[in-house]
Amino acid sequence: MSKSVKTKISWIVIAVLVFALVNAALFHFYPGNFSVFAYVLFLFIPLAAAVIIIFTRFSLLFIKNVEEEKEESLLLQERQKEIVENMVEGLVVHNLNGKILTMNAVAERSLGIRMADVRGKTSDELKNYSNWFKILFQDLKEGETFEYSLNNKDGQDFDYQIIKITLNKERGEILKIIRDISRAKYLDRMKAEYVTIMSHKFLTPLTNIKWSADFLLGDNIDLRRKEDNVKNILNNADKLVKLTSYLLNIAEIEEGLFGYNFEKLDIDAVIKEVIQNYFEESRQKGVEIIYRKPKEGFYFVKGDKSRLNVAISNYLDNAIKYTPDGGEVEILLEESGNELKVSVNDNGIGISPESVQSLFSKFFRDKRARAVHTEGSGIGLFIVKNIVERHGGKVGYSADGGKGSTFFLTLPLYKEL
């Protein structure tokens, strides 16, 4: 009972007692002046009224407490339901006969079926819906984890863990937790693949350097071959420096040490500089670079020139690399509202549909890219994403009708303070 309620009741009791004492004093000083009815009227009725008031007050308080507890119980149930529905794991509760009692929204998506469609059905009936239910109703030990893999219609691999927990032995209620471990499995595969790729990437140039160095130590070396081997050593050393730089950039990004020097910057000038840097490479492949922008003028952003150069260079480097000889690469600068958009479009090999969601992930390479160029590291787009997001922009990809790829980035327009 709250303090305020106790205070109110105390005042009621005091008022009744004072009233009773006043009446008693009147009866004492003026005896015989009051009838029996007066005694009843002045003593019994106030006491009865006090009892009724107190009883009523307690009754109302009790009813209020019951209602509040009921509301709290309903609110707790709603919270528990919200927690269950918003969990990242799928939750399925069934009895010993395989009858589904309840499941959350994640489980419905994982199983590819609605709760309303399976309510009241037996485990044998449910097994006809999907192979998922055959796995779900396996006789697992308490706390045992079972892993299950499947491929969807787009060819994507999904991996799940199923864990059994007994909720109530008397009622035979069993909870199955469905945990999506696809991302963890994917990262494990990427780590293994990365170690293999990096080993090859370091080993190949080191081997070339060793061969050239051994050749230079030989006797009777003509000048031309000596120059070729020195150039080979320098080229492979450049590859190692570039690769090491990429790895250091990743470490700095993840540790928050990737420094930036922001200034008012004309992105048009940066794009022209990048194109000039790739002039010779594109000429050798016969790939034409076409640069389009709305009109002449300045397109300012607040950015780090060297970092944005790296981001746009990565897009252009990939476009030239994966475009067939004699092809075409288009760079488009657009202004839309309060942002600038830089797009790099090619007519190359394109991207596999199942790989689009992972393009900007660390160490990821599409199977088409691996088939054409086995030496890619899968680092570049990850660095691009971090650079652009650090500038307050976004990165993205769009397919060009299966005939190429378009990678783009957006940057906020510079605003004078």
Q: Which of 155, 180, 205 is the last residue of a domain?
A: 180
Q: Which of 128, 154, 180 is the last residue of a domain?
A: 180
The reply to whether 64 and 108 lie within a common domain is: no
> Model pTM greater than 0.85?
no
306 CB contacts (<8 Å, ≥6 apart)?
Answer: 261
The reply to whether 267 and 408 lie within a common domain is: yes
User: Residue 136: exposed, middle, or buried by beta-carbon count in 10 A (0-12, 13-18, 19+)?
Assistant: buried
**CATH number of residue 120's parent domain:** 3.30.450.20
Q: What does the pLDDT look like over 270-290, one tens digit per residue?
A: 999 999 988 888 888 899 999
Interatomic CA distance for residues 179 and 162, integer angstroms: 6
303 CB contacts (<8 Å, ≥6 apart)?
Answer: 262, 263, 265, 267, 391, 411
For residue 8, tell me if it sits in a domain: yes
For residue 33, tell me if it sits in a domain: yes
Q: Which two tokens stand for residue 214?
A: 């051994």
The reply to whether 325 and 384 lie within a common domain is: yes
The reply to whether 268 and 406 lie within a common domain is: yes
The reply to whether 405 and 332 lie within a common domain is: yes
The reply to whether 79 and 98 lie within a common domain is: no
Domain count, the chain: 4
Interatomic CA distance for residues 9 and 31, integer angstroms: 33
For residue 142, tell me if it sits in a domain: yes
For residue 417, tell me if it sits in a domain: no
For residue 123, tell me if it sits in a domain: yes
For residue 385, tell me if it sits in a domain: yes
Q: In this structure, are residues 140 and 178 in contact, taking their beta carbons and an 8 Å threshold? A: no
For residue 345, tell me if it sits in a domain: yes
The reply to whether 269 and 407 lie within a common domain is: yes
The reply to whether 299 and 395 lie within a common domain is: yes
The reply to whether 290 and 344 lie within a common domain is: yes
The reply to whether 267 and 364 lie within a common domain is: yes
Q: Which of 180, 212, 234 is the last residue of a domain?
A: 180
Identify the domain containing residue 219 by its residue range. Answer: 184-254
**CATH number of residue 391's parent domain:** 3.30.565.10
Interatomic CA distance for residues 186 and 63, integer angstroms: 58
The reply to whether 244 and 188 lie within a common domain is: yes
Catalogue the E-assigned strands of 62-156: 90-94, 100-103, 145-151
Q: Which two tokens stand for residue 374?
A: 């086995």
Task: Give average pLDDT by consecutive 10-residue segment, the chain, 417 residues.
Answer: 61 67 65 60 65 70 71 62 63 79 77 75 71 72 73 66 80 80 73 67 80 79 82 84 72 65 90 90 89 82 88 89 87 88 86 76 69 64 87 86 81 80
Position 208 scores a pLDDT of 83
DSSP one-letter code for 324? P
**174 forms bridges with which residues in the sheet?**
94, 166
The reply to whether 97 and 81 lie within a common domain is: no
